[in-house]
Amino acid sequence: MTEQERIHCDEVVASLLEYLDGELDDARRARIEDHLAECRGCFSRAEFERALRRRLQALATEPPPDSLKRRLKAILDEF
Amino acid sequence: MEQGSLRSSRQCGRSGREPPVCATDNRTFFALRIEELADRLYGVALRFTRNRAAAEDLVSETVVKAWAHLPQLEDRTCFEKWIFRILANTFFSQCRHRREETLAAEEDEDGFSLFDRLHQPFLLWWGNPEQELINKLLCEDLDRALGALPDCYRAVVVSVDLLGHSYAEVAGMLGVPVGTVRSRLNRARSQLQRALWQQAQAAGLVRGSLDEGDAHD
Ligand SMILES: [Zn+2]
């Protein structure tokens, strides 16, 4: 990789969340990935953001209360 | 339209004659998927609305709409993604009536980063500070921090982080430019991490003065 193509930590930090969201084009994603493979600090940062997101994603699951189960059953029985 | 399709499918399934196979399959398929996804439908609805009764209403409305639109779902392997888009759309359409609140919340929020806080030189850690914090945070901590976000911020975080929607999808559902989704998401995450940091400090999970954790960098 030439010096011109190499990116710096601050650029990685600025684009990291978009990278993790899968919102970057192939070229930018590849540049970030090359950097993460070489830079321990940015790699740790990316791992931390991923781990935090996994914890957050656990909030997407919550047992429905009985009242909702009954209501859904009633709705489905109508179909 | 919804009434019509509800009625016709009911007649299909309940008429005295042998019901058409596809109608029976549809209903079985649908009921099974709803049962499988009930935990997630309710969980996501609860994060969107922050209110149990409103979450129940949102899930119920979503299920009724999904059934009405089921014939339009061509690839059934996409059912999950599809029904959560209906749920998000239903929630957003309720939000659109409250535009003032949305605009009022577009305040400045700098890029607060938990990672940076954990790597401040005055904090003494053994081992891996990020991993320790991640392990010590309770679901209640995350729930409280997410719940404290303004509605329009929470909506994008739930859509992108919990549901995996793209910025473009969220922009389409909210009727705003992609750039608006991106900036709301940045502010929302910054605010979320700030709230988690403050909670972690209050709980004694991180050492460091409260002053340092507050306003300035
Ligand atoms: Zn770096």
Give the model confidence (pLDDT) of A16-67 as tens digits: 999 999 999 999 999 999 999 999 999 999 999 999 999 999 999 999 999 9
Residue that the structure tokens 């409260």 belong to: B210
Query: What residues in B contact A16, CB-CB < 8 Å?
Result: none
Domain residue ranges in chain A: 9-78
Report how far residue B188's alpha carbon sits from residue B66's, in angstroms, rounded to the nearest whole number.
29
What is the CATH number that goes with domain B99-202?
1.10.10.10
Share of chain B above pLDDT 90, in %: 57
pLDDT at B108: 61
Whether this prediction's pTM lies above 0.90 is answered by no
3-state secondary structure at position A62: coil
A40 touches chain B (CB under 8 A): no
Interface test with A, best of B7, B132, B142 (most A CBs within 10 A): B142
Query: What residues in A contact B200, CB-CB < 8 Å?
Result: none
CA distances from A21 to A4, A24, A30, A43, B201 (A): 26, 8, 14, 16, 28
| Residues in chain B with pLDDT values less than 70 | 1-24, 96-109, 121-127, 207-217
Chain A and chain B share a number of CB contacts under 8 A equal to: 104
Q: Cβ contact (<8 Å) for B142 and A21?
A: no
Q: How far is the CA of B201 from the centre of ligand 1 (A)?
A: 27
Domain residue ranges in chain B: 3-95, 99-202
A74 touches chain B (CB under 8 A): no
Q: Cβ contact (<8 Å) for B13 and A79?
A: yes
Specify the CATH class of B3-95 in words.
Answer: mainly alpha
Q: Cβ contact (<8 Å) for B146 and A59?
A: yes
Task: Determine whether B157 is exposed, middle or buried from the number of CB atoms within 10 Å of its CB (0-12, 13-18, 19+).
Answer: buried
